[in-house]
Structure 1
């Protein structure tokens, strides 16, 4: 793959091995801590910290070129991503960042997490390896979410003067969260793949339903008072939600499973 800047200087052109060209919008951001590649129905974008050398941006796109092609194909064709395959390295979103997923032999099944990599260790022979890998990923993603949830509950429940009776985390087909009649909050496991700010919005949304069980203006005013950035995160989920749920499915669901 080769990379060239186009005349507008706001895009990078990624030439694929099949002869196609992918335009990637590039944007520096003063609060960015690392390079980040996102794909939406509007196209691909790479965001990076101010002062990042162009060669670093080029190398980052080369590294994730195959993932980028696959994501764009999924959006264009409406297809589901291929299921997880034990032993095959891949990339996945985690907390809104691109994370590499790799494999190695180990004495017992476990996951190791470094800054931008997940490594799944499985013992040989790999009997029931796909099931073990999916279970490890599901547990890991839920643990990631629960750490954030615990911190935010400690902040928001005193402000509300109310608290849920429990928090459940599981895959949801269409919703991002819900509150039942017993005041139990359920959150979609796919939010582990989203930026933490999106998870925070959904949690605040459901916590506000403890006080107001509808979507009246009064409800949204309460959400606004607790989390002023809620609108940006709701828009993000509307734009990326379908792809995010599909990603979760390929990571934790058996092929052909629901």
Structure 2
């Protein structure tokens, strides 16, 4: 698909990921992991995605250089597994497009009406905008961002009613917004942040991220005690974590196409 050696500079992200951009516009996300017994850098690719492991204390610049030196091999393997995030066509007013929503593929359509709103139907989401269409695209993006946030808040409010009594703890606030690399976070004031892109994922994936952040109310690290708490709150969490690792880059690219430039 692309010629060798076209990977751009690796950009270190929050969390456990590195993101690499190709000159063709594709994005590669590589899971990074320090390994206590590793003696050298190692790059692997599976159907779950790409992973680079390295000895503890390795400088991030060394990891980036290592990935660039294996650009040909990495790009070829990811392309073979259809894991490259290919450029998405831009959102255009009046042109229907297929998008993911809550883990399903639906159509995003357009119509005219007296005021801006979104109408939901079976397998279709319709953006209704008045004429003239001078600011149609930014208005449409704002509508989409608000709609996606409302879907997340609706689910979260229902699950919190179950989880808070189990934990005996509750977050002080919830913020939903586009996040560059993370799916969620818990700040020092016990406020939960969730990525708006989770509205595009299956509800179970969103539920896992919520449970994950809620468990940080009790355990602030990722120790075995933390994961035991996650297992209690959300059994079989590994399946949803793996799904996000495999499909996350695509979801974030889809969200960027839909709501790019919308203020938090």
**Residues 78, 197 of structure 1: alpha-carbon distance in 2 compared, 3 angstrom cutoff:** closer
Tell me how far 1:222 sits from its aligned partner.
Answer: 0.4
Partner of 1:174: 181
Partner of 1:201: 208
| Cα contact 1:83–1:254 (8 A) shared by 2 | no
Q: 1:99 aligns with which of 72, 96, 106?
A: 106
Q: When the two structures are aligned, how many residues end up with a matched partner?
A: 187
Tell me how far 1:165 sits from its aligned partner.
Answer: 0.1
| Cα contact 2:48–2:242 (8 A) shared by 1 | no
Q: 1:123 aligns with which of 116, 119, 130?
A: 130
Following the alignment from structure 1 to structure 2, what is the Cα–Cα distance between the partners of residues 229 and 109? 41
The list of structure 1 runs, each at least 4 consecutive aligned residues, that deviate by more than 4 angstroms after superposition, is 75-78
Cα deviation code 1:11-52 (max 9, x no counterpart): xxxxxxxxxxxxxxxxxxxxxxxxxxxxx889xxxxxxxxxx
Partner of 1:6: none
**Residues 131, 166 of structure 1: alpha-carbon distance in 2 compared, 3 angstrom cutoff:** same
Cα deviation code 1:49-83 (max 9, x no counterpart): xxxxxxxxxxxxxxxxxxxxxxx9xx576433122
Partner of 1:90: 97
Secondary structure of 1:79's match? Answer: coil
Secondary structure of 1:187's match? Answer: strand
Following the alignment from structure 1 to structure 2, what is the Cα–Cα distance between the partners of residues 41 and 100? 27
Following the alignment from structure 1 to structure 2, what is the Cα–Cα distance between the partners of residues 171 and 189? 5
Higher relative contact order (CA 8 A, sep 6+): 2
Partner of 1:186: 193
Map 1:1-258 onto structure 2 (within 5 A). 78-254=85-261
Contiguous gaps of at least 5 residues in structure 1: 1-39, 43-71
| Cα contact 1:93–1:99 (8 A) shared by 2 | yes
Secondary structure of 2:99's match? Answer: strand
Tell me how far 1:229 sits from its aligned partner.
Answer: 2.0
Following the alignment from structure 1 to structure 2, what is the Cα–Cα distance between the partners of residues 80 and 99? 19
Tell me how far 1:115 sits from its aligned partner.
Answer: 2.4
| Cα contact 1:191–1:198 (8 A) shared by 2 | yes
Following the alignment from structure 1 to structure 2, what is the Cα–Cα distance between the partners of residues 254 and 185? 23
Following the alignment from structure 2 to structure 1, what is the Cα–Cα distance between the partners of residues 198 and 133? 30
Tell me how far 1:114 sits from its aligned partner.
Answer: 1.3
Tell me how far 1:212 sits from its aligned partner.
Answer: 0.3
Cα deviation code 1:94-136 (max 9, x no counterpart): 0000011111110000000112110110000112100000000
Contiguous gaps of at least 5 residues in structure 2: 1-46, 50-78
TM-score by length of 2: 0.67
Following the alignment from structure 2 to structure 1, what is the Cα–Cα distance between the partners of residues 205 and 114? 36
